[in-house]
């Protein structure tokens, strides 16, 4: 569900971001694709679950956890570069009601996905799936940032809100990527 939703969200966000000239909305769409990659990693990871030994499962789990961590770094680097570029070049996007609608839909969808993915991760005792739930949480925060940034631009013409909020999110993304990467053992809770 996460992969399909995020591909659709990514395509729609990039389309309307291109029409409005909104780097934030395009970046949000690219984040959706990274979320899809993270979900694809989970599909790959669980595809091997019943076909291999316990030792092989642990190796696959560690690889999957590292791959999820790398997606945090990729997304953080992108958000950082786009936010700085947007502030330096001072190219405000056009106000976009469609972007606001996309952000609101995502703010409703992401907490629901987060809840079910977290329950599943605990039930399966999967550290990699727990790491993937953080990617969903990051998407929820990006949705909120997108809503604030696009909302302030739409209502008040304050286009700088979008890259400023983006820079705040970068620290969260790098921290989560680092914490996920340094965890070398499987969750034993």
Tell me the whole-structure pTM to 2 decimals: 0.71
Per-residue pLDDT averaged across 155-166, rounded? 86
Angle between helix 23-47 and 127-156 (nearest 10): 170
Question: What confidence category does residue 48 fall into, taking pLDDT thresholds of 50, 70 and 90?
Answer: low
Q: What is the pLDDT of residues 113-147, one digit of tens each?
A: 899 989 988 998 887 778 778 778 888 888 898 89
Among 4-8, 39-43, 138-142, the range of highest mean pLDDT: 4-8
Contacts of 29 (CB under 8 A, 6+ apart): 9, 10, 11, 12, 13, 14, 15, 17
Q: What is the pLDDT of residues 70-111, one digit of tens each?
A: 888 988 898 899 889 889 998 787 888 999 999 999 999 999
CA distance 142 to 82: 14
- Tokens 């604030």 found at: 148
């Amino acid at each position: 569900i996460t992969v399909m939703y995020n591909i659709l969200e990514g395509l729609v966000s990039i389309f309307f971001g291109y029409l409005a000239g909104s780097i934030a909305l395009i970046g949000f769409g690219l984040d959706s694709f990274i979320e899809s990659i993270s979900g694809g990693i989970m599909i790959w990871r669980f595809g091997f679950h019943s076909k291999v030994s316990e030792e092989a499962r642990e190796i696959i789990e560690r690889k999957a956890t590292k791959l999820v961590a790398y997606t945090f770094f990729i997304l953080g680097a992108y958000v950082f570069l786009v936010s700085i570029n947007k502030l330096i070049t001072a190219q405000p996007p056009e106000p976009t009601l469609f972007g606001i609608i996309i952000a609101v839909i995502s703010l409703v969808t992401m907490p629901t996905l987060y809840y079910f993915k977290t329950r599943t991760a605990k039930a399966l005792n999967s550290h990699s799936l727990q790491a993937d739930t953080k990617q969903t949480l990051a998407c929820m925060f990006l949705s909120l940032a997108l809503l604030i940034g696009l909302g302030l631009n739409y209502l008040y013409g304050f286009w700088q809100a979008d890259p400023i909020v983006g820079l705040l999110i970068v620290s969260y993304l790098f921290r989560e990527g680092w914490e996920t990467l340094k965890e070398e053992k499987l969750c034993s809770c």
